[in-house]
Structure 1
């Protein structure tokens, strides 16, 4: 059991015979740290937990340590005004801004449309070097965020994908888990997307098996992630475990970073930010910390 992937980690795997790769995650204490920064109602808490899982699985697809994956909702006339999560080398953070009055008028389990309105999900891949930045826009349609992102891979990237996320509460604590499986044509990771065959028979079997994963399998802390993969795929195929990566709450705010951001503003704008005491107070939405910068120090 010492070699098993612990909670708050991402486990990468492949199914060589079926030319598939995947990621499976389960989060507990790390997720509680992210959620504890704000007093989220259960519905908002759960949608953020789902978004954190999706961000982790998508971010873990990037190979370079300096790469970053950002998931951000652009909403229109919904309960949620802003949802933002990002992943960088195992560090995760997330935040939701929402309208409490609108939420109070919704049923206990509001639809995705009710939460986001006519919204879109922006998925941004920031990679070092010549790869640069790549962004995809996902209509927020379907029953869940996971379904919306799955449709993005199918329609925009033409990569057959199964995405499942489950969120549960245990003894007042939130546990969330997720599974991502993708088909790679002829086992080639970097092949042009136009060569992907969406109707490949070897993918159909994997898709059925991956789609059968249960909520309890993703969220049960006593069930190792390796066992989940074994249950789903091992009857007919070799499941190759590639790597496990621990995840932490990783808000990158600090006084030096805040000072650097403020320094980019014109002098007149910085002067307008200074309060009567001569300070600039900056609140980080992700971790709910307030940083106080003296206006005089910015002129040094």
Structure 2
């Protein structure tokens, strides 16, 4: 079958769900991933034909996309910080906004990166700590998560990407009482967290491919207590950061002011609230006094 005909079928079946531009990106990502074909191949070979085995693969992906399964789950990987991370339904798919947070940290420490101790709280796929490990010289990097299934994914990414992040299982909401976790007995230079922050009331604005296929444990918080994870992380950081250590948080775009006030009340100085590429309050940094 002609590849361009399959592309037309993709648009006829999916444009109403995703829009033409996103369908184009799905199609080209799939043919590159499965067939090693560049996105401009149809411009050079408009009559390119794929075989029956390839047709089966590309139409199976189409069926999954119609069910609003994330493209990253279909191909099994997500791109983050120029690295390929394994992902599945047990972890959040890394977002561009999170990459902005990582790049902020790297910019801050590009000239003073040696021998840092770093902790990522709520690590999921491990994309944050592994990316930092790959870019910072001699850093000792740790990541924690409550989910054993998420940690399996993080450990696999650790191995595949040649990193040496130390992962361990812990509940962020009870860290201050977990005296048996030896990794938490030390002080850190940097603590990062992208915890659950989507309020239940915001579900109506989210797409089905997120709600139905990504772990709700890593996404949602009660409407009446939207900063419950931030309270825990900030309190923990106030106790476990070295003097002048830095706390970096990805935040709910609607709760920037409230999150900043939380840091102000918890022994942090030089607090900076930043917008993401879309102009939303999305990340915050505080330095421990």
Question: What TM-score range do you get, normalising by the shorter chain?
Answer: under 0.3
More helix by share: 2
More strand by share: 1
TM-score (ref. length: structure 1): 0.25
TM-score (ref. length: structure 2): 0.25
